[in-house]
Structures are given as C-alpha cells and as structure tokens.
C-alpha cells in the first residue's frame, strides 16, 4: 500500500488523486500540501486526507507518508524533490521534471544520492493505445522506426502560473512538447541518443512572453526523426495524436478528440445549460461533442500509477524515470535555442546512459546478386512491378514479375 502525500491541490493534483484512489484499490492520499490553507483543507475534505498543511516540508516529513507526489507549478519541483531526498521519501513528479535540463539533472542526482525511489509521471506514455502500440513496435511489426510524430494542441492551460514564463520556465514547448518528445523517444528507442533539434516557435495569439505555438524536428543518432507540434492556440478542444512510420508499417493514434464517441445536444435539458462536463479543455457543452469514456484511464493515469507503485514495491525502475525527464528537458533546451538561432542546435547531455556510436543502418535491400530492390507494387492493371537499382552501374530500371 502506498500512502501518498500530494503536493498541489489544483487540476493535476485532483486528477492524480482520482487515479490513486481508483485503480489498485489499496493506495491512499493521506496528506495534502497546498500553498493556501483553504485549498489544502478543501482538498482534504474532498479526498479524505487525514492531514493537510500549507507547510511543504511538514507534509513530506509526515510519518504516515511513504511516497510523495509532486503536482506543483514547475518552479516548485526542485524544492519539493530536494525535501524528499532530505527526508528519504520516495517521490514521483509531474511533467516536465524541471524548467530546464540543469534543474532536472540536479533532481536526478539528488534522488540517486539519497537512494530513494523516483518516477516521472509522463501519463501519455501510459495510455491504453500507446501501450498497445509500443508493444507492436518492440516486436518489430513496423520494422526499423524512421519517423515518430506527436501532436498536442488545445486552447491553453488551466492555471495562471503556466502563463508566467518565470514560474513555468517556458510556454507550450515546455508544457506540451515534453509529452511529445517522450512519446517519440519511446517509439524510436530510449537508448538512442537525440543529437540535434531544429525548432520554429512564436507567440501568435496570446498576450504573453512565452511561445504559444511551435513545431520541431529532433534528429537521433540512428537517423530517425522525432517531430512535435504543440499549440496553446488550437480551438475545438484538446487534440492528441501520434504517428509512427517504420520500414514495415505505420501506426496512427488519436487519443482524445476523435475517439469514436460523438454526441449532439441542443442544450435543451431541464436546466438549459447543456452538458455539465464533456472532456478536458472542451470549449463547448452544446452542439456536436466528443466526450471521453473514462478520462482518467484514457489519459494514462491509471496505468501510470500502477507501474509506479508496483515498481516501488518490487525494488524496480518504472517505465518512466527521472533520467527520462532529464533527457526530455535537454531536448527542450535545444529546441528553445534553435528557435532563437534558426539553426540546428546540439542536444547537450553531460549524463548519457544509452548506446554510444550508433550508426545509421543501411538503406539497401538486396533483390539478387546484381540488383537492389527499391520498390515492389501491384499496379491497377494487375502487374507485379519491381523498381530496381543496378549494384554496379547505379542505373534504375523496372520490370514485371
């Protein structure tokens, strides 16, 4: 049984609490920290927490707590993790791990030095569709992964601190790109080094200092490309889509906005107000709506906490670690630098635990001793056509077989 201290009583803390209480049936949020006593008490009343306080260290050090869940604004993550290391409490942290790679690395080193369990709460790497997809990729169903694209776009985050660049550390790249980068890393291979990044970012709509829209390419050492598209300016709800392309197959995933559940309402229900709640970041509760069947599960929270708690109890690493959070922050740092310079920028990784010197695989597929196969296809008129390249002359030709 995990007895959790929840740090943060806002949107994500409440999502986490619903998942913790609902999945394994034996875990409990026993203590809550919030910056205001009023919010802490409200959360404690709502979720049955025995202890609440506006003193972070007091909550972390509480004797009835064996794991701390960081659900705080980005600028408070490092403080919380350092207190967990001080009091030898297992810790799991929301994304992004830090505002930058330097913060993330300090947190990684602190938990490792303290010898405590730590996990990175990257929920979108635990959605049912993602877990099914990654199984297929690991079995080789798609062949060698060439390109992995992830998109997250919505009208913007819920809380005021996200919009403050000092507290948040960045805009939509840090907020949403962290999801997309880690999704692509999983598909391409987390042991493959991300080498460099090319990024465009701009503030197109919102009156803020940070970016509200960005697109980037992440080049990996084996030649694969990760791509992310992120926006706080998208209208119509929350768009979560992933695409993976390999030499032998393709995967398309739609995690949220188009899930197969569509409904229409005029809003002429008894109170005339339309549906009470449709889905996270839905912009309307009348007309055509796209609800999510089980939001906590479909966004990955249930599988995520099950993995974290099982790993902690079995002395194992979870699927997503503080090290992964640090790598993601390093890629984001390079993206921000590229957005400024308009150039490819190197991903700086002073700590790297993956493979070294990975070479780009050969593009050549033998057809026979004389030719490479470029393509084989059935044409509309029933021919089985080959396109070949002569190994000696380099000449390209086609033939029917």
Instruction: Give the tens place of pLDDT for each residue, 295-327.
Output: 888 899 999 999 999 999 999 999 999 999 999
Q: What are phi and psi of 277, to 5 degrees?
A: -150, 135
Query: What dihedral angle (degrees, nearest 10) is formed by the CA atoms of 173, 174, 175, 178?
Result: 90
d(CA 7, CA 80): 8
Instruction: Give the tens place of pLDDT for each residue, 18-47.
Output: 999 987 788 999 999 999 999 999 999 999
The pLDDT value recorded for residue 271 is 63
Domain spans in the chain, listed from the N-terminal domain onward: 3-122, 125-295+318-346, 371-400
The pLDDT value recorded for residue 276 is 66
The more confidently predicted of residues 267 and 280 is: 267
What would the CATH number be for the domain defined by 125-295+318-346? 3.30.360.10
Percentage of the chain surpassing pLDDT 70? 96
The pLDDT value recorded for residue 278 is 64
Q: Which helix (H) or strand (E) holds 99?
A: none
User: In 10 A of CB 221, how many CB atoms?
Assistant: 20
d(CA 256, CA 127): 10
User: Per-residue pLDDT averaged across 149-178, rounded?
Assistant: 96
Percentage of the chain surpassing pLDDT 90? 84
Q: What is the CA radius of gyration of the chain?
A: 24
pLDDT of residue 81 exceeding 90, the answer is yes
The pLDDT value recorded for residue 363 is 80
pLDDT averaged over every residue in the chain: 94
The pLDDT value recorded for residue 236 is 86
pLDDT of residue 274 exceeding 80, the answer is no
What would the CATH number be for the domain defined by 3-122? 3.40.50.720
Closest CA to 117 of 376, 390, 313: 313
């Amino acid at each position: 049984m995990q007895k959790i201290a929840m740090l943060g009583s806002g949107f994500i803390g409440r999502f986490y609490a619903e998942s913790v209480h609902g999945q394994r049936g034996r875990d409990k949020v026993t203590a809550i920290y919030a910056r205001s006593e009023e919010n802490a008490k409200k959360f404690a009343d709502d979720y049955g927490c025995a202890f609440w306080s506006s003193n972070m260290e007091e909550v972390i050090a509480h004797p009835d707590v064996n794991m701390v869940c960081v659900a705080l604004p980005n600028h408070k993550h490092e403080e919380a993790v350092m207190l967990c290391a001080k009091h030898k409490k297992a810790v799991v942290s929301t994304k992004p791990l830090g505002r930058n790679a330097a913060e993330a690395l300090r947190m990684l080193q602190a938990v490792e030095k303290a010898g405590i369990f730590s996990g990175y709460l990257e929920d979108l790497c635990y959605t049912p569709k993602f877990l099914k997809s990654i199984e297929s990729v690991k079995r080789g169903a798609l062949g060698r992964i060439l390109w992995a694209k992830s998109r997250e776009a919505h009208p913007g985050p819920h809380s005021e601190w996200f919009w403050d660049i000092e507290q948040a550390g960045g805009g939509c790249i840090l907020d949403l790109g962290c999801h997309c980068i880690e999704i692509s890393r999983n598909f391409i291979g987390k042991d493959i080094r991300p080498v460099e990044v090319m990024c465009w970012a701009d503030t197109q709509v919102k009156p803020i200092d940070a970016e509200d829209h960005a697109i980037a390419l992440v080049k990996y050492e084996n030649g694969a490309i990760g791509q992310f598209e992120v926006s706080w300016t998208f209208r119509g709800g929350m768009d979560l889509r992933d695409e993976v392309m390999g030499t032998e197959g393709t995967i398309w995933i739609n995690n949220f906005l188009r899930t197969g559940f569509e409904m229409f309402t005029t809003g002429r229900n008894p109170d005339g107000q339309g549906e009470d709640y449709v889905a996270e970041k839905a912009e309307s509760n009348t007309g055509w709506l796209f609800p999510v069947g089980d939001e906590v599960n479909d966004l990955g929270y249930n599988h995520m906490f099950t993995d974290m708690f099982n790993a902690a109890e079995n002395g194992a690493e979870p699927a997503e670690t503080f090290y992964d959070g640090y790598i993601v922050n390093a890629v984001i740092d390079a993206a921000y630098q590229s957005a400024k310079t308009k150039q490819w920028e190197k991903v700086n990784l002073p700590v790297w635990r993956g493979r070294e010197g990975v070479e780009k695989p050969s593009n050549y597929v033998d057809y026979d001793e004389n030719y490479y196969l470029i393509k084989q296809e059935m044409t509309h008129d029933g021919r089985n056509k080959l396109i070949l390249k002569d190994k000696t002359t380099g000449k390209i030709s086609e033939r029917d077989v």
